[in-house]
Chain A
């Protein structure tokens, strides 16, 4: 499924300074019964966000009006555990287009790239600066520039570069997905398939 092109994102950010945030927290398994990709944002971080009687937990960041924006900032090893792409869908559907962390779990990172959420990996030191800047002023804006591969704290001007391979960068910039690419080399794949022993 093609998605919106990613260029430069300027936004405030929502901080979640917790390590090892697993995809069961991002979207609990009981919400994986859908057969279409819609409405997952309502259940993003469901059990951290709501009490069991469905009342909002006032101390959770998504229920705090001070914090908003299209960038989610998480602690180290964000997105570990289950391969459920629903976690990335929930992040996207809620309105985030970028997740910043000092370390991502592999499958979650790949899922994000496949659906148009940009995972930005920064150093632990720069991640701390981002958390500090938000703590100082929740309205602090950040600029994520895909072409330049930089993330900048706009109030202080401090910035850091991040890695993304040229292929994925091209996809994100143009809103392409891998299936478009693979379908274009279908003949090569069919030829290759003939060489497999089983």
Chain B
């Protein structure tokens, strides 16, 4: 019996320009986001071939990875970073690409500003030279990270050549507990699948938990798809999606909106459509999550103890090497471990909802004296909302400072580096060795867990602080 099509099939198939025999599909790209770090060699390639950008109007550039988060009005001190930023600006100007550089009102992390200005749309194909491009799947787009050779391909021809990934659906049913955020849902899924469990797949997230989730939350979940190896993740568009995108600067208007809506309303997985793999979890069983190792799959509920090497998938030697780096032991509880740094921000958790969550815990409390906290909004728009909603006052009263937008300590290309041996609770996406600075140790968690750590100076279950408020 022939069955229906998946959401992923519908979007992918409608973008295939041609199929290469025993090879990849030539996939047309609707939106291409460009940043300063992975684009210079691609533009150099265009120059060497003496070709132009085929669709500059479908291409958007922002500076984010390698930018300071204080004193952005001053010249960038690091000459290599300054040069990379200058190159992006020159390339954008030369090829007629919209460029939102440092100081521009629309500047921010590429995966935060794309949605904010309506560049991200349901049913679109979106790529960027950054693995967290999967974020945009929250809108029902096919969005994924590409390498610099592919950045050059998209600049030159608006296409890339990719074999079609296999499909996986992950259903989360039920209702989330109090204190459990979209970040926890994602870290839970990754802990179940491991850091490579979805490699080769494109994931659709389905079920009540995602239907009831805000678009910001969906972005957090889709953002982290790459951390279990998936090419990307997506969620079918619904009223929440249309409400979010309507009226934004680059969103279709008038008749174009109506045409687009007619298309968008076809974007769901048909009854009976088959996936290569399908998994279902009970959302009510998820608790606030925390990582203890050096990949995002090494996570657990915050009240659990670090598993023994024999009890985990994968090699025990690699597992022990990871714990040794973190200076943790098998069987340890994470609760009560003293921490040195807190980072709130990144394309994973740098949106207004994340600052609201952080503020809900720190309100009326004080930053712990042993903690250095970096609070970095994902964009100027987020920064403005933090001020408008009175969140900045809460943060300031609690002893925190707000920095300027950028990727910051998520990958520590700029000066926001966690020093060797120091332990950070971070709302970002990767706890790899040295990710936040050479020798740094990273615990990944939600903004609520980060806030609880920031005010207590140690790993703390945020529900304890939330219960105190309601008691």
Partner-B contacts on A (CB < 8 A): 1, 17-20, 22, 24-25, 28-30, 32-37, 47, 52, 75-77, 80-86, 88, 103-107, 110-111, 114-115, 165-168, 177-179, 181-183, 185-186, 188-190, 192-193, 196-198
Shortest beta-carbon distance, B258 to chain A, in Å?
11
B121 at the interface (CB under 8 A from A): yes
Distance between Cα atoms of A86 and B196 in the complex (Å): 21
Known: A35-B40, A182-B159, A185-B18. A30 touches B147 (CB 8 A): no
Residue of A nearest to B125 (CB): A196
Residue of A nearest to B128 (CB): A83
- Residues of chain A with a CB closer than 8 A to B252's CB: 197-198
Distance between Cα atoms of A105 and B430 in the complex (Å): 15
The contact size tier of chain B is 35 or more
Q: Do residues A1 and B48 form an inter-chain contact, with CB atoms below 8 A? A: yes
Known: A167-B23, A178-B160. A35 touches B41 (CB 8 A): yes
Q: List 6 A-B contacts (CB under 8 A).
A: A20-B195, A28-B434, A106-B200, A168-B24, A178-B161, A185-B17
Interface centre among A17, A115, A168 (most CB of B within 10 A): A168
Residue of A nearest to B413 (CB): A29
Known: A110-B147, A115-B149. A36 touches B157 (CB 8 A): no
Shortest beta-carbon distance, A105 to chain B, in Å?
6
Shortest beta-carbon distance, B87 to chain A, in Å?
5
Binds A, one of B277-285, B314-322, B348-356: B314-322
Q: Do residues A84 and B195 form an inter-chain contact, with CB atoms below 8 A? A: no
Across the interface, A24 reaches (CB within 8 A) one of B78, B314, B435, namely B435
Interface residues of B in 95-150 (CB under 8 A from A): 121, 124, 129-131, 145-150
Distance between Cα atoms of A20 and B317 in the complex (Å): 12
Q: Do residues A178 and B231 form an inter-chain contact, with CB atoms below 8 A? A: no
Residue of A nearest to B251 (CB): A198
Shortest beta-carbon distance, A116 to chain B, in Å?
10
Residue of B nearest to A35 (CB): B40
Q: Do residues B81 and A33 form an inter-chain contact, with CB atoms below 8 A? A: yes
Shortest beta-carbon distance, A115 to chain B, in Å?
6
Partner-A contacts on B (CB < 8 A): 17-18, 20-24, 26, 28, 30, 37-38, 40-41, 44-45, 48-49, 51, 54-55, 65-66, 78, 80-81, 83-84, 87, 121, 124, 129-131, 145-150, 152-153, 156-163, 165, 195-196, 199-200, 226, 229, 231, 252, 256, 259-260, 263, 295, 314-315, 317-318, 321, 411-413, 420, 430, 432-435, 438-439
- Residues of chain A with a CB closer than 8 A to B149's CB: 1, 85, 111, 114-115, 177-179
- Residues of chain A with a CB closer than 8 A to B150's CB: 110, 114, 178
The 4 A-B pairs with the shortest beta carbon distances in the complex, nearest first, are A167-B23, A85-B147, A83-B145, A111-B147
Known: A29-B413, A165-B22, A198-B124. A182 touches B256 (CB 8 A): no
Across the interface, A196 reaches (CB within 8 A) one of B28, B54, B163, namely B28
Shortest beta-carbon distance, B293 to chain A, in Å?
10
Q: Do residues B153 and A182 form an inter-chain contact, with CB atoms below 8 A? A: yes
Q: Do residues B49 and A179 form an inter-chain contact, with CB atoms below 8 A? A: yes
Shortest beta-carbon distance, A26 to chain B, in Å?
11
Shortest beta-carbon distance, B31 to chain A, in Å?
9
Q: Do residues A182 and B161 form an inter-chain contact, with CB atoms below 8 A? A: yes
Q: Do residues B158 and A189 form an inter-chain contact, with CB atoms below 8 A? A: yes
Across the interface, A85 reaches (CB within 8 A) one of B148, B226, B318, namely B148
Q: Do residues A52 and B83 form an inter-chain contact, with CB atoms below 8 A? A: no
Distance between Cα atoms of A65 and B260 in the complex (Å): 61
Distance between Cα atoms of A129 and B86 in the complex (Å): 50
Residue of A nearest to B198 (CB): A106
Q: Do residues A167 and B30 form an inter-chain contact, with CB atoms below 8 A? A: no
Residue of A nearest to B130 (CB): A83
Q: Do residues B315 and A75 form an inter-chain contact, with CB atoms below 8 A? A: yes
- Residues of chain A with a CB closer than 8 A to B321's CB: 18
Q: Do residues B229 and A47 form an inter-chain contact, with CB atoms below 8 A? A: no
Across the interface, B147 reaches (CB within 8 A) one of A24, A25, A83, A186, namely A83
- Residues of chain B with a CB closer than 8 A to A19's CB: 314-315, 318
- Residues of chain B with a CB closer than 8 A to A24's CB: 411, 430, 432-435
Q: Do residues B260 and A197 form an inter-chain contact, with CB atoms below 8 A? A: yes
